[in-house]
Chains A and B, each alone.
Chain A
Amino acid sequence: MVQVKMHLLVCGGTGCRASESKRLVDELNAQLQANGLADEVKVVITGCFGFCEKGPIVKVIPDNTFYTKVKPEDAEEIVKEHVLKGRKVTRLLYEDPETKTHVSDSKHMEFYQKQVRIALRNCGFIDPENIEEYIVRDGYAALGKVLAMTPAEAIDIVKKSGLRGRGGAGFPTGLKWEIASKNKADQKYVVCNADEGDPGAFMDRSILEGDPNSIVEAMAICGYCIGATKGLIYIRAEYPLAIKRLQVAIGQAREFGLLGNNMLGSDFNFDIELRYGAGAFVCGEETALIHSMEGKRGEPTIKPPFPAEAGFLGKPSNVNNVETFANIPAIFLKGWEWFSSIGTEKSKGTKVFALAGKINNVGLIEVPMGTTLREVIFEIGGGIKGGKKFKAVQTGGPSGGCLTEAHLDTPIDYDNLIAAGSMMGSGGMIVMDEDDCMVSVAKFYLDFIVGESCGKCAPCRIGNKRMHETLEKICQGKGTMEDLDYLDNLSKVIKDTALCGLGQTSPNPVLSTMQYFRDEYLAHVIDKKCPAGRCKALKSYVINADKCMGCTLCAKNCPVSAITGDKKVPHVIDQAKCIKCGTCYEKCKFGAIEIR
């Protein structure tokens, strides 16, 4: 028998698939075949490695070589050089942005060094479409343990672990389960909220794509604890790969008897169905989610009654998000003491963040609660792209706020983020640099909220529209000081009066930017300037006569013929005609065009 001596792990997450990782896998297999290595080397499609910035990723096991941005054409070289001859393909290795040296072993990459992977423990490690690999990683052993306990004992472990909901507000998970377990009903439901809607957040998707079985197992555990025999996963239709992997996982679990009747020889029965979202952010709110699962408009309703009392079809339902569930098996396997030893006093365990924006290492990371923003952004994230200056980081998506340099050393946990005017949310972290206009950023989020508001309650339906219009007015240079007061009052009233979590948190991006970047608002309103040069209406393109060589390139490319001037004589832009498209700025070879 030939021993498998090497595994090539290829990321099969959505991000890397978008960069042709599927074709890369085919090509690797073909090359192995051609070199007679097919029996010795196994290509495994795994979930996301988290290092999306440099995808597609190929990780060579057992030597932990980490190849980035691998193209299908690179397969031949990897096989002939590395697999066959043991020579690493240097040009594909990750290059440390600081030292500019190649890092071959992922263990030595700063991106991974600071991370503690609990929810992502299997992502990028196992083949998500093979339940056997999950089982080898102690899969379903936690369920086995739980089935030997009473539900109350199991809930107690979750309570003691200190796990809080990873979807937003951070409600203690054990307590939630306890409430649901105590409500009597002929039928109860376990609902997994996989309607990850924050723009720029993709941690749930990655977990579902990389380790779907952990969610299936955790939901079964939850079902046992609260007395439910049915599980429902509400997942965005925009996540076809995650849907497919879940379907495979559920199918395999049924085949192995890990879903269905008398699981693991107990008298516990549990099964899971998928329900699809249809493009409504508000359906991440649990009451809206439940209505959507019932085939209705996804409008939230007032709580109480909470889903734990009257949820899906009026029956007690426990709703947790994907990441929350992903922590559950680990808690039972390693013990609540272990879990609660990680993190801060009130926020236990780890949190997965989706790092995006103007940062070098865009990707998915998991760090202990209490890690500082600085560690996340500058050490794991590799700092700001292009050596620009850090300006702000937006956490919590449209419900969160923008944090500044002053917050960089704040340990990240639920309470600290709220105190700073933001929130954990689902864990999106968008980094912004000096080129980002904070008024525009606030406007961007309001635009999102206006598009996603369900329209049920007046403050959110109309209030956010008015906020957005006011911000637009400010970006146009037509804002007044009264407008700032108006925004302030409206923000507070919307927070105070909106019906659901979406509405109540929707002013956060405005409030936090007004608080931390008030000077930028004032610049827009009083000086009619956009300091970041982002607001079109507030910037003008001007030709610096000292630098202009009169090459006429700008004039030739101006779409509205706003630039005039003779050859070899400095040109002039007619501000009345200029539409601020920026073409001249891009075309000028002498840096003579300045934005003011």
Chain B
Amino acid sequence: MSNIKLHDSQIRQIKDICASYGNKPGELINVLHTTQGVFGYLPEEVQREIAKNLNIPVAKVYGVVTFYSFFTMKPKGEHAISLCLGTACYVRGAEGVLDELKKQLGIEVGQVTPDGKFSLDCLRCVGACGLAPVVLIGDKVYGRLDPSKVKEILANYR
């Protein structure tokens, strides 16, 4: 059933996270944020463990995880690429940048490259509209992009 088996130390980590929020069901989203911060993603076993500690049905945990786009059940690439698709970026040509990113990486939005190096996601406005269109690679922001710059930027990470 489960896709990964958690180590005892990981189970302990989750227990501690839940306990730090008083094991309160109302803190589920905070617990998920913190846990994803530690694990990078929220696989099934992690969600089961959280459900157990907060004493809520795992279906509810899964329901929450799948509702919010911030939470992911898949690990991200080593370099997580996020393209802003806010309106400002859109009207300044973000779609073309996206097409180029897909082409260069050979993956679709939401996927990870086979070597695990890059993952590609879209997000809504990051608020750097003055720099539109904007791409984030990890925490670094690349602004005022056009498709021709994509290859060059990716080269820094290859």
Contact = CB atoms under 8 A, between A and B. Distances in A.
A and B touch in the complex (CB under 8 A): yes
A281 B69 CA distance: 10
Given A278-B33, A281-B124, A295-B26, A18 B91 contact: no
Interface stretch (A35-43, A200-208, A317-325): A200-208
Nearest to B84: A199
Contact of B68 (A293, A298, A362, A444): A298
Contacts of A543: none
Nearest to B90: A444
A358 B129 CA distance: 11
Given A276-B30, A357-B92, A199 B124 contact: yes
A55 interface: yes
A238 B128 contact: no
Contacts of B153: none
Nearest to A297: B67
B86 A200 contact: yes
Contacts of B130: 15, 52-55, 356, 362-363
A448 B64 CA distance: 20
Interface-centre pick from B32, B60, B126, B130 (highest chain A CB count, 10 A): B130
Interface string B107-137: 0000000000000000111111111101000
Nearest to A18: B141
A579 B141 CA distance: 31
Interface string A352-389: 00101110001100000000000000000000000000
Size range of the chain A interface in the assembly: 35 or more
B41 to A, nearest CB: 14
Contact of A280 (B67, B92, B123): B67
Interface stretch (A70-78, A246-254, A428-436): A428-436
Interface string B47-73: 000000000000010011001111100
Interface residues of B, number: 38
A55 B141 CA distance: 13
A239 B128 CA distance: 11
A199 B131 contact: no
A430 B88 contact: yes
B26 A298 contact: no
B13 interface: no
A199 B87 contact: yes
A276 B85 contact: no
A454 B69 CA distance: 11
A32 B128 CA distance: 29
B40 interface: no
Interface string A428-457: 101110001000010011001001001000
Main secondary structure of the interface of A (DSSP, over half): mixed
Nearest to B88: A356
B70 A279 contact: yes
A359 B56 CA distance: 50
A294 interface: yes
A394 interface: yes
Q: Give the most central of B60, B85, B129, B131: most A CB within 10 Å.
A: B129
**Which residue, A200, A444, A445, A454, has most C-beta atoms of chain B within 10 A?**
A200
B127 A15 contact: yes
B128 A237 contact: no
B85 A278 contact: no
Contacts of A199: 85-90, 124-125
Given A52-B128, A295-B28, A297-B63, A200 B88 contact: yes
A295 B123 CA distance: 22
A237 B33 contact: yes
B149 to A, nearest CB: 13
A431 B91 CA distance: 9
Interface of B: 24-30, 32-33, 60, 63-64, 67-71, 85-92, 123-132, 134, 141, 143
Q: Which 6 A-B pairs have the closest CB atoms?
A: A52-B130, A356-B88, A199-B86, A278-B68, A18-B141, A295-B28
